[in-house]
């Protein structure tokens, strides 16, 4: 599932995010209320995990604002405010569940899965678009600026992952896990080789590049400026 954790305590955030990722979930993190609000409004998530006490915008106000904006993504409050009035206030603000700190990760995971099953269904995307680049998930075809691009199966998977995560820096480890399903480093230049081939097809024939190397970090795909 695609999840967003909005938590300002670094230790708690790392524990929750790392645990959820180990379970196979795609997790984003925001450390402030405004940062979480921006992500929740601009990206599609299946469940939000929200602390109530956040800098910049508290969790209650954040959830109320989301509901006012007709964002019906399920919300789990993860908080140390455990009084009856606190729980009632959180649920009435629009949260779907309420879990107190300290907590067992197994219970958090079970509650997230339960909320995920209740998430509103969305029509499955069949075409990904970033700028003038299109990827058709049904025909397995790619096109940029109206020009067809022939991709090998692994190149297609690599481009799909880049496009689904436009604007995000994707590390070599993330690419190995998501594109090659390798949970270890094969000590080869497999990522670099495929990225070079993909750039030759996606960027080289056109005026502006879309795939950038972030030195010491990874790769990022964005629409050309």
Give residue-wise pLDDT tens across range 117-130.
875 544 456 789 99
Say whether both 91 and 20 belong to one domain: yes
Give residue-wise pLDDT tens across range 7-55.
999 999 999 999 999 988 899 999 999 999 999 988 889 999 999 999 9
3-class SS at 61? helix
User: Of 79, 101, 118, which closes a domain?
Assistant: 118
Phi–psi pair at 74, nearest 5 degrees: -60, 140
Tokens linked to 26: 């795609």
Indicate the angle between helix axes 59-68 and 84-92, nearest 10 degrees: 30
Say whether both 103 and 139 belong to one domain: no
Say whether both 172 and 111 belong to one domain: no
CATH (domain of 65): 3.40.50.2300
- Among 75, 69, 68, 73, CA closest to 6: 75
Say whether both 188 and 84 belong to one domain: no
User: Of 118, 136, 171, which closes a domain?
Assistant: 118
Say whether both 49 and 132 belong to one domain: no
The chain-wide mean pLDDT, for the chain, equals 91
Say whether both 153 and 190 belong to one domain: yes
What is the total count of domains within the chain?
2
User: Of 118, 153, 179, which closes a domain?
Assistant: 118
CATH (domain of 199): 1.10.10.10
pTM, entire model: 0.55
Give residue-wise pLDDT tens across range 90-141.
999 999 999 999 999 999 999 999 998 875 544 456 789 999 999 998 888 9
Name 221's bridge partners: 211
For residue 169, what are the domain limits? 127-221
The string of DSSP codes covering 168-221 is S-B-HHHHHHHHS--SS--SSSHHHHHHHHHHHHHTTTSSS--EEEETTTEEEE
Say whether both 137 and 156 belong to one domain: yes
Helices (H) and strands (E) in the chain, counts: 8, 11
């Amino acid at each position: 599932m695609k999840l967003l954790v909005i938590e300002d305590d670094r230790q708690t955030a790392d524990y929750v995010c790392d645990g959820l990722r180990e379970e196979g979930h795609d997790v984003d993190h925001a450390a402030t209320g405004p940062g979480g609000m921006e992500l929740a409004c601009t990206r599609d998530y299946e469940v939000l995990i929200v602390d109530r006490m956040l800098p910049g915008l508290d969790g209650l106000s954040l959830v109320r604002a989301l509901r006012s904006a007709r964002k019906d993504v399920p919300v789990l409050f993860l908080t140390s405010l455990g009084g009856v009035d606190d729980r009632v206030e959180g649920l009435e603000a629009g949260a779907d569940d309420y879990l107190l700190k300290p907590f067992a990760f197994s219970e958090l995971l079970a509650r997230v899965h339960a909320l995920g099953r209740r998430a509103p269904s969305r029509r499955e995307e069949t075409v990904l678009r970033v700028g003038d680049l299109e990827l058709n998930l049904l025909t397995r075809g790619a096109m940029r600026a109206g020009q067809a691009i022939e991709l090998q199966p692994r190149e297609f998977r690599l481009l799909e992952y880049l496009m689904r995560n436009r604007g995000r820096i994707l590390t070599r480890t993330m690419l190995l896990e998501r594109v090659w399903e390798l949970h270890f480093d094969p000590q080869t230049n497999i990522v670099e080789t495929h990225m070079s081939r993909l750039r030759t097809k996606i960027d080289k024939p056109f005026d502006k590049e879309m795939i950038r190397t972030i030195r010491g970090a990874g790769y990022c795909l964005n629409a050309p400026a």
